[in-house]
Structure 1
Amino acid sequence: MGPLKCKVCEDANSKYKCPTCLLPYCSLPCYKKHKETPCIKSEVAAESNECLGSTNSQKQPLRPFEVTEEETWRLERKQFEALAASEELRHMLKNPELQQLIKKIDSSDDVEKDLNAAMEDQLFRDFRDKVLGIVNPVKN
């Protein structure tokens, strides 16, 4: 089974699903557009993958996936706040080369391949190390 199409723009392949109604979408702008109409979590929506508040009522099967250890790891609020507060991280993110690397990974059809390729770049490795140091600081 191939990738599902975004049910908001009907153009791009979906990478995400609405956490409430499981509607497939491709990007933040599509998610925001989808959320303009409130959706409702229900057994029917979860089973049929449709949003009850949406005008789009086509049924889509759920995408199969395997849960890996990495997919179950989530940042805590204080970790996100620490990332947002980091001036050094903000400065790094102003670099156009780093922005391009991140965009390439984010829009990749083969994320693992592109992430591994980005790891060859010292700029990206410095960024990774800074992020990891913020979210998981070494305690003395």
Structure 2
Amino acid sequence: MTCYKVHKTTPCESAKEQIPVARPRREDPREPDEDDERLSEEQLRRLAYSEVVRRYLKYPEIRRLVRRIDGSDDPEKTLDTTRTNDATFEEFVRALVLTTRED
């Protein structure tokens, strides 16, 4: 009976599912004069349709590394470290550069 009284005054609730909260996007640290370093629409289109890039993106580890770099407090440093420590990721970066290079 004691258990019943406790449940009557304080009903049991199932544990609520923990939903991970997305980190807010960091401010864009680029200076206005760095806009010339952004990819053009044509370069973005080439990336989107590149079979080589698509092949690399099929690897879950490549996608995980890209997310880690994107969410980093210092993405430039994280990118450099990742390129140094992961040969496949370095190949992926080289493929991106070749795909976006102006002829």
2:98 aligned partner: 133
2:32 and 2:59 map into 1 onto residues whose CA distance is 32
* 1:28-47 equivalent positions in 2, closer than 5 A: none
* 1:58-97 equivalent positions in 2, closer than 5 A: 67=31, 70=34, 72-97=36-61
String of CA shifts for 1:71-126, please: whole Å, max 9, x gaps: 54121111111111111110110101111111110111121221121111111111
Whether 1:101 and 2:77 are equivalent positions in the alignment is no
Whether 1:122 and 2:87 are equivalent positions in the alignment is yes
SS in structure 2 of the partner of residue 132 of structure 1: helix
Gaps of 5+ in 2: 1-21
Normalised by the length of structure 2, the TM-score is 0.65
SS in structure 1 of the partner of residue 39 of structure 2: coil
| Distance 1:117-1:68 versus aligned 2 partners, 3 A rule | farther
Normalised by the length of structure 1, the TM-score is 0.49
Percent of pairs with identical residues = 31
Q: Structure 1: which amino acid aligns with 2:73?
A: D
**Which structure's relative contact order is higher, taking Cα pairs within 8 Å and 6+ residues apart?**
2
Larger-gyration structure (1/2): 2
Give every structure 1 segment of 4 or more consecutive aligned residues whose post-TM-superposition deviation is greater than 3 Å.
11-14, 68-72
What is the RMSD computed on CA atoms of the aligned residues? 2.6
